[in-house]
Structure 1
Amino acid sequence: MVARRTAAGQNSDRIDEVKSSVHTELLRQLGPHLYDADMDQDELDQRVRQVLAEVLSAQDRPLSSSDRARVTSEISDDILGYGPIEPYLRDPDVSEVMVNGHNSIWLEKKGKLVPAEATFADEAHLRRTIDKIVSRIGRRVDESSPMVDARLPDGSRVNAVVPPLAVDGSALTIRKFATDPLGVDDLINFGSLSPQTADFIEACVRGRLNIIVSGGTGAGKTTTLNVLSSFIPGDERIVTIEDAAELQLKQEHVVRLESRPSNIEGKGAVTIRDLVKNSLRMRPDRIIVGEVRDASALDMLQAMNTGHDGSICTLHSNGPRDTLSRMETMVLMAGMDLPVRAIREQVASAVDLIVHQARLKDGSRRITHITEVERMEGDVITLQDIFVFDSTPGFDADGRNLGRLRSTGLRPKFLEKMSHSNVTVDPMLFHTDRI
C-alpha cells in the first residue's frame, strides 16, 4: 500500500516536472503570439496545441496516453483559458466558482456549495489568472486598486480582491452566465414563475410600466431582468447601463453602456449616474439599469418621471417595502437636501411595479412578490400585493420547496395606464382559484 502511494507520488511529481518544462518551452516558442491582439483565437488555439504536441513528443521519457492527455488539457487550459477553474467554467451544472486563496476552490451546483478537486499551483498562478481576466476588458488589479469588477467574454460576472485586502491570498468569484440566456419558459419550468404571472409581467412590460426587480445577492435578479427585457417590442430603442455588461438582449436596436473605474491616477471614472444622465440625451424608448446602488437612484427616478416610461432596473433589498426604503436612502446619497416626503412622492409617481425575488433554502430562486406601488397616503407609500409566494404546501421528500406564486385576488390600478399603450390583461388572471 505504501509502495503504491509512493509510486503515485513520484508519478505526480514527474507530471508536474513535465508540465513545468513543457510550459516553459511553449512560452519560449509562442510568447509573443499569446498576447497578440490581432491573432484570431481559433488560430492561437491551433498553434498552441500543435506546439504542445511537438514539445511533448520530444520529451526524453515518454508519458502514458492518460498522463499525456492530462498534461495537454491542463497546459492548454492554463495558456488558453483560466487554468484549473477552466473545466468548471465549461461545466453547465456549475453556476458559480469561488476561489478563496490558491488552494481552496468552491463551486455552486444546483444552489448548493461543494468543494472543487482542483487547486492553483501557488498565489502567483492565481494572480496571473486574475490579471488575464481583468486585462482583457481594460481593467487592472494591484496593490493600489486591490478590488475589481470585471466580466468574461460570455458576460459572466467576475469579482477579484487581492492582498493586502484579501488576508489569506487572492479571492476570485465568478458568477457564470449561460451562453444561451434563460428565457421565460425556463423560469416557468424551474418554478420561479407560473404561466399566468409570466403573462401578466409580459403585459406590464409591453404596457410601459416602470419596474424594479429587487432581491438579495444571488437571487437571480439579472436573469429576471433579462427575461423582462425580452418582452420589450423590437421597434423600440433600448439603452442598457451596467457596471459589467451582462445583459443579453435579442432586440436589434440596443445601445449598451458600461461604467468605467478611475485610472491609476484616480481620474477618468465614469459612474452609473453619469451614464444614466447621458442616456437621457440618446433618445431612449427604454432605459435599463443593471443595478442601482448609489446616487444614480435619483437620476433613474427623474428618468421614470420625465416621460421615459417602461424603464427597468434592479436593486438589492429584502422585500417590496424595503425596496422603497433603499430607494429613498440612495436618493439621499445624491447630496440633495430633499425632504423625505418629496422623495416618496417621486417614488410613488415613478415606480409602478416591484418584482421581488429570493433564493430559498433548497437553493431554488423564486419570485416571491409581484407588488403594485400605488399612491401616497399621508406620509406612507401604499403597496398592494398582486401575486404572493405561498409556502404552505411545505417541502417534498428531497427538501424541495413545493410553494408557488398565487394571486391575491386584487386587481392593480395601473391597468388603465397600460390601456394607453393598447395593452389589456385578462381579468381572470387575478382570480384566486385559477392559479
Structure 2
Amino acid sequence: MWNVRRSDDAARLRPGLSESIRADEPSYPQENDRKLALKVSIHRKLLDKINLAALDQFTREQIEAEIKDIVLELLESQRELLNARERQELVTEVLDELLGLGPLEPLLKDQTITDILVNGPDTVFVERGGLLEKVSTRFQDDKHLLRIIQKIVSAVGRRIDESSPYVDARLADGSRVNAIIPPLAIDGSTLSIRKFAKQRISMERLVELGSVPVPMAEVMKAIVRARRNVLISGGTGSGKTTLLNAMSSFIDHRERIVTIEDSAELQLQQEHIVRLETRPPNLEGKGEVSQRDLVKNALRMRPDRIIIGEVRAGEAFDMLQAMNTGHDGSMTTVHANTPRDALARVEQMIGMSGIDITPRSARTQIASAINVVIQVARLMDGRRRVVSLSEVTGMEGDTITMQEIFRFKATGRADDGTVLGHFEATGIRPKLLNDARAYGIELSAELFRPELQMN
C-alpha cells in the first residue's frame, strides 16, 4: 500500500516555514473568509503529515485518495462540520494548493480566460473575450500570494526577492508570467499571467473569427512562402504572437527554424525547430544571456529562418543584419501603434546596440531588411483585428517609403458596443506580386481591387 504520510524521522521542512505552519490561524467573521482560512490551515497542517518527496511518484488521483483521508482526520480534529460537497471542494482546493498554484488553479483551467491579473491578495481580474472583469478569487494574505509566486519562479530556475523584485517566467504549460513584489509594488505583490493557448490557432481560425479576411490571409501565405521578412506591430494583448504563430504555419517543414524569446511561448508547427530562451543574471549578477547574445549565436546554427518573439533593444540591429545576409523569411514582433511607429521603434532600438551608425544608415538597413509590416489591434469591443498590411518599398531621401495594401476601416458602433467596420484593399499592386511569382506563387490581381470590401 502506497502512502505519502511522512514518518517521524523524515526531514523537516526548510527553516522558517515550519514556524508559519504551526502559527495560530487568524479568525474571519465572513463565511468566505472562514473557508479560506480553513483551507490554508488544513494545507499547512497537511505539510507536517505527508512526505513531499513521495508526491512525484504518484498520479493526482492516487494522491487525492490518500489526501482525502488525511483531510477528513484534520477536519474531525478541528471539529469542522462540512457536508459531502463542501468536503470534496476542500480536498480539491487543498490539492490545488499542494500540487498547483492554489486559488489560481480554477482560473488556469477555465478555457474562456486569456489573462489573469492579480493586484495584491484581495483583488483579481481576468480577461474574457477581450474584456476585463473582477472575480471573487483571493489569497489569504500577501505571504500566501508571495508563496505562490515563489513556486512559479523557482520551477524555472529564477528568483524573486527584495534585491530582485520583479521577474519574467513561464508556467509548465507555457503560459507567460510577470511578477513584481514590494517594495516596488506598493499595494502588495502583483502577478500577471498571459495564458498559453491549448490549441494552436491557425490562419483558418483567424478567418473564422473575423480577425483576418480571406484575401488578406492569401496574401499572408504568399508573404511567408516567398520568404519576405515580416515585422508584426501592435499594442499589449493585441494578438501579435497569435498572428506570428498562425503565419509560421506556412513555413516549409523542410526548413530549419531558430526561435529566440525572453519567455518561450511560440507554438510553431514544424518539426525542425530549435527553441532558444534568454537567461537572467544569477545572484552575483553574472551569467546573463540576452536576446542579442542568442541572435548572434543563432547565426552560427545554420538557420533557414530566425524568429524573435519580440525585439526590445539592441538585438534589433543583429536581427536586421541576419535578414540582410541570407536569412530571408525571418519574422519578429514589436510594440507600436502604427506601421510607421513600428519602423521608428526599430530605429530607436538600433541606437541601443551601441553601434555607431547614422540615422540614414539605420533607416537604409531597415528599408533593405524589412519587407512587410502588419499592424494588429484590440478594438474597443475587445475583439482583435489585423488593421493594416503595408509593404516597405525603399527610401526617398532620408525617409523610408511604405504603401498600405489592406486596412480595416471602422464605421461606428452597434447598440451592444460591437465595433462596426469592414476590411478593404487600397488598390495598390504590391511588389510582392513579382516576388511571389519568382517562387512559383501566383496571386490574383482581384485580391487587390479597391472596390472589394471584405466583412
Give TM class, smaller chain: over 0.9
The equivalent residue for 2:166 is 147
Give a deviation string over 1:244-272, Cα, whole Å, max 9, x none: 00001111101100001100100000000
Q: Does 1:312 align with 2:327?
A: no
Q: Does 1:48 align with 2:60?
A: no
Matched-pair contact (CA < 8 Å) for 1:191–1:404: no
Give the 3 Å change call, closer, same or farther, for CA 321–21 of structure 1 in structure 2: closer
Q: Aligned letter for 2:308?
A: V
Q: Which runs of 4+ in 1 moved over 6 A?
A: none
The equivalent residue for 1:5 is none
Structure 1 gap segments, 5+ residues each: 1-7
Please report how far the alpha carbon of residue 50 of structure 1 lies from its aligned counterpart in structure 2 after TM superposition. Answer: 2.1
Q: Does 1:30 align with 2:50?
A: yes
Picking from 276, 285, 301, the partner of 1:266 is 285
Picking from 94, 97, 101, the partner of 1:82 is 101
State the distance in 2 between where 1:177 and 1:409 align: 37
Matched-pair contact (CA < 8 Å) for 2:36–2:140: no
Matched-pair contact (CA < 8 Å) for 1:212–1:312: yes
Matched-pair contact (CA < 8 Å) for 2:223–2:432: no
Please report how far the alpha carbon of residue 335 of structure 1 lies from its aligned counterpart in structure 2 after TM superposition. Answer: 1.2
- 1:23-422 → structure 2 map (5 Å cutoff): 23-33=43-53, 39=56, 43-58=58-73, 59-60=75-76, 61=79, 62-392=81-411, 394-422=412-440
State the distance in 2 between where 1:12 and 1:414 align: 61
2:259 alignment partner, SS class: strand
Structure 2 gap segments, 5+ residues each: 1-27
State the distance in 2 between where 1:17 and 1:399 align: 41
Give the 3 Å change call, closer, same or farther, for CA 11–308 of structure 1 in structure 2: closer
State the distance in 1 between where 2:238 and 2:30 align: 46
State the distance in 2 between where 1:190 and 1:268 align: 43
State the distance in 2 between where 1:217 and 1:12 align: 34
State the distance in 2 between where 1:11 and 1:397 align: 40
Q: Aligned letter for 2:60?
A: D
1:325 alignment partner, SS class: helix
Structure 1 length normalisation: TM-score?
Answer: 0.93
Matched-pair contact (CA < 8 Å) for 2:394–2:400: yes
Please report how far the alpha carbon of residue 19 of structure 1 lies from its aligned counterpart in structure 2 after TM superposition. Answer: 2.8
1:97 alignment partner, SS class: strand
How many correspondences in the alignment?
422
Matched-pair contact (CA < 8 Å) for 1:22–1:55: no
Give a deviation string over 1:14-64, Cα, whole Å, max 9, x none: 645643453234212334327x7xx25xx2523431232111332424421
1:70 alignment partner, SS class: helix
Matched-pair contact (CA < 8 Å) for 1:206–1:232: yes
Give a deviation string over 1:324-344, Cα, whole Å, max 9, x none: 111111001111121111111
Cα RMSD for the two superposed structures:
1.7
1:371 alignment partner, SS class: strand
State the distance in 2 between where 1:351 and 1:20 align: 54
Q: Aligned letter for 2:223?
A: C
Q: Aligned letter for 1:405?
A: F
State the distance in 2 between where 1:12 and 1:410 align: 61
Give the 3 Å change call, closer, same or farther, for CA 272–14 of structure 1 in structure 2: closer
State the distance in 2 between where 1:11 and 1:349 align: 65
1:28 alignment partner, SS class: helix
Give the 3 Å change call, closer, same or farther, for CA 14–415 of structure 1 in structure 2: closer
State the distance in 1 between where 2:163 and 2:431 align: 52
1:120 alignment partner, SS class: coil
Give a deviation string over 1:362-383, Cα, whole Å, max 9, x none: 1111111100001101111111
Please report how far the alpha carbon of residue 396 of structure 1 lies from its aligned counterpart in structure 2 after TM superposition. Answer: 2.2
Give the 3 Å change call, closer, same or farther, for CA 216–292 of structure 1 in structure 2: same
State the distance in 1 between where 2:37 and 2:331 align: 54
